[in-house]
Structure 1
Amino acid sequence: MTSPAPILVGNIGNLFWMRVDGKGSFQNSVQVKRCFQTMIEKGTRHFVVDLERCPIMDSTFLGTLTGAALNLREIGDGEVCILNANARNRQLLSSLGLDHILDVDNDGSRHQVERKQVCDELGKCNENASPDKVEQAEHVLEAHEALTKANEANASRFKDVIEFLEKEVRSRAVAVA
């Protein structure tokens, strides 16, 4: 298996900026989730996910971004803004109905000043500890549940995946106990 794409992060003005340097996938989505959780706990409410170097995202990664946006909605404040998405990623966001949950910048007009600062400011995310198999399975399940919560039409798309993952999580929990 190839190593997960690095996630670069930093504060740019009042924004927490996250750049995906490769494929957004289940392999780096736990790291992204932990990063969002840490920053939300610290009071950060405005996030940018920069997809300029991200050719594609899988459903787990998309669910992770969606879960963060839904958490901010529950808090009642904040946003997850998607910048520099290529046509394929924009189509994924749109077809899953996530462009109503995530603030997708389609015309490149958002955060112009911060875009110029970003290259000098980003460093690797410190949430590097690899998840164990139970945490990974639980995370993939949560990500897919977030996709169905964000858009009811996604329930039929991910029904089988969710059922499989629920069984997987139960069996792994029993094996650990």
Structure 2
Amino acid sequence: MADSAKPVFLVDAFSDPIVIRIDGRASFQNSACIHDFFNERIKEGKTRFVIDFQNCASMDSTFLGVIAGAGLQLRKLKPAGSLVLARVGTRNLELVRNLGLHRLVTVDAGETSIGAGQPGTALQCEARSELDSARLVLQAHENLVTTDAANMSKFQDVLSFLRTRVEQK
């Protein structure tokens, strides 16, 4: 596993489905590159994704909101795309279920092989301005509320704070 201070998303953008492997922590600090990766691949017409969580040390609500956003985008396609969260593990599965993502994407909590591409290319996360970062975090949390209305009570303070911050800039 990668050093937890240096989380890495390894991808195989040419496989079908596209495979993304998380090594380390997935958080607000590195969610922008996975957000951009999803957007770019979907614009290219890619509609099938698998995220391998086997080496994911932890994740936060911003990362899960980015995943929710990708899932929402893929659902709108005709025909709908797919997003599978593979080898999620007990703790991460609990987070996924608590936020309602299991109703939006396919979750495979087992230890079975993902059987697809071999992710070997590390995504490069470019620095974003403070305002762009705040917008991404806001959008991610809005995605979580769209996914499950019960998330509004969980994130109302965060949403209020971020909306104020984004509007002030």
Please report the TM-score for the alignment, with normalisation by the length of structure 1.
0.87
State the Cα distance separating 1:92 from its structure 2 match.
Answer: 0.4
Q: Residues 3 and 133 from structure 1, CA distance in 2 versus in 1: closer, same or farther, beyond 3 angstroms?
A: farther
Q: Residues 145 and 160 from structure 1, CA distance in 2 versus in 1: closer, same or farther, beyond 3 angstroms?
A: same
Mapping for residues 25-174 of structure 1, pairs under 5 Å: 25-76=27-78, 77-109=80-112, 111=114, 113-114=115-116, 117-118=117-118, 121-126=119-124, 128-172=125-169
State the Cα distance separating 1:96 from its structure 2 match.
Answer: 1.1
Cα deviations by residue, 1:75-132 (Å, 9 ceiling, x for unpaired):
2321111011121000001111110112101234574x32xx52xx421124x32111
> Which secondary structure state, in structure 1, belongs to the residue aligned with residue 13 of structure 2?
strand
Task: Give the conservation status (yes or no) of the 8 Å contact 2:100–2:148.
Answer: yes
State the Cα distance separating 1:3 from its structure 2 match.
Answer: 5.0
- Segments of 5+ residues of structure 1 without an aligned counterpart are 173-177
Counterpart in the other structure of 2:17: 15
* Aligned length in residues: 165
Task: Give the conservation status (yes or no) of the 8 Å contact 1:4–1:28.
Answer: no
> Which secondary structure state, in structure 1, belongs to the residue aligned with residue 24 of structure 2?
coil
Structure 2 CA distance for aligned equivalents of residues 139 and 13 of structure 1: 27
> Which secondary structure state, in structure 1, belongs to the residue aligned with residue 94 of structure 2?
helix
Question: What percent identity do the matched residue pairs reach?
Answer: 33
One-letter code aligned to 1:105: D
Task: Give the conservation status (yes or no) of the 8 Å contact 1:4–1:27.
Answer: no
Structure 2 CA distance for aligned equivalents of residues 56 and 106 of structure 1: 15
Structure 2 CA distance for aligned equivalents of residues 41 and 3 of structure 1: 31
State the Cα distance separating 1:4 from its structure 2 match.
Answer: 4.7
Structure 1 CA distance for aligned equivalents of residues 89 and 24 of structure 2: 13
Task: Give the conservation status (yes or no) of the 8 Å contact 2:23–2:57.
Answer: no
Cα deviations by residue, 1:40-97 (Å, 9 ceiling, x for unpaired):
0011000111111112110000000000000111123211110111210000011111
> Which secondary structure state, in structure 1, belongs to the residue aligned with residue 127 of structure 2?
coil
**Bigger fraction of residues in strand:** 2
**Bigger fraction of residues in helix:** 1
Structure showing greater Rg: 1
Please report the TM-score for the alignment, with normalisation by the length of structure 2.
0.91
Q: Residues 18 and 145 from structure 1, CA distance in 2 versus in 1: closer, same or farther, beyond 3 angstroms?
A: same
Structure 2 CA distance for aligned equivalents of residues 84 and 12 of structure 1: 21
